[in-house]
């Protein structure tokens, strides 16, 4: 999939719809292609992303590269679809995440060449990307979600540290 993204030529269009998009190697490749003149459109599930720092960082990277990132508001978007130009489409159960490539038993179906399969994938992407629920991910939404995650992580660490101290003091108190 990464090879296909990198092979896109200026004037081509890369369309990516991913439920869990956490791998920077893919966002970096999309940003590089955008700089070279490839049109790039991304659709994510922002509800899922809000609880995953790496996913939010990927969105920030894409937006910094002037890539339009959309989501479907509170509606779940569980697609795993990639269309590169007019000659490649990939779909299945594989997210662009570490777990998908190293832990999960996922599948991917690739369709290559000008075909009805690639054309159908483009239609499906466009329907979701342009549906009434689709809206641009706003930088402030992403920044707010990152701040919320950082605060939650700090609170968990504080609880963990306090819990360890309490356990130690309880052991000594009971003797």
Q: How far is CA 65 from CA 23, 37, 107, 125, in A?
A: 16, 12, 29, 21
pLDDT at residue 106, as a whole number: 66
Q: How confident is the model at residue 168 (pLDDT cuts 50, 70, 90)?
A: very low
Residue 50 counted as domain residue: yes
Q: How confident is the model at residue 104 (pLDDT cuts 50, 70, 90)?
A: low
**What value does the mean pLDDT of the chain take?**
83
**CATH code of the domain in which 93 resides:** 3.30.870.10
Residue 64 counted as domain residue: yes
Q: How many domains does the chain have?
A: 1
Residue 175 counted as domain residue: no
Residue 166 counted as domain residue: no
Residue 173 counted as domain residue: no
* Containing structural domain, residue 18: 2-137
For 166, the token pair is 């309490």
For 130, the token pair is 């342009």
Phi, psi at 129, each rounded to 5°: -65, -30
Residue 159 counted as domain residue: no
pLDDT at residue 63, as a whole number: 93
For 31, the token pair is 């940003």
Contact 15, 129 (CB under 8 A): yes
Q: Is the pLDDT of residue 12 over 70?
A: yes
Q: How confident is the model at residue 171 (pLDDT cuts 50, 70, 90)?
A: very low
Residue 102 counted as domain residue: yes
């Amino acid at each position: 999939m990464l090879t296909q993204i990198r092979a896109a030529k200026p004037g081509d269009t890369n369309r990516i719809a991913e439920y869990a998009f956490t791998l920077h190697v893919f966002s970096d490749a999309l940003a590089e292609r955008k700089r070279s003149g490839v049109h790039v459109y991304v659709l994510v599930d922002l509800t899922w992303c809000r609880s995953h720092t790496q996913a939010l960082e990927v969105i920030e990277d894409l937006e910094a590269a002037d890539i339009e990132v959309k989501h479907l508001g509170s509606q779940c978007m569980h697609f795993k679809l990639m269309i590169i130009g007019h000659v490649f489409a990939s779909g299945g159960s594989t997210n662009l995440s570490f777990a998908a490539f190293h832990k999960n038993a996922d599948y991917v179906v690739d369709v290559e060449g000008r075909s009805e399969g690639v054309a159908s994938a483009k239609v499906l992407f466009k329907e979701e990307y342009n549906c009434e629920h689709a809206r641009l991910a706003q930088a402030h939404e992403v920044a707010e979600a990152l701040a919320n995650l950082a605060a939650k992580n700090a609170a968990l660490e504080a609880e963990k540290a306090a819990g360890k101290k309490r356990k130690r003091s309880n052991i000594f108190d009971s003797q």
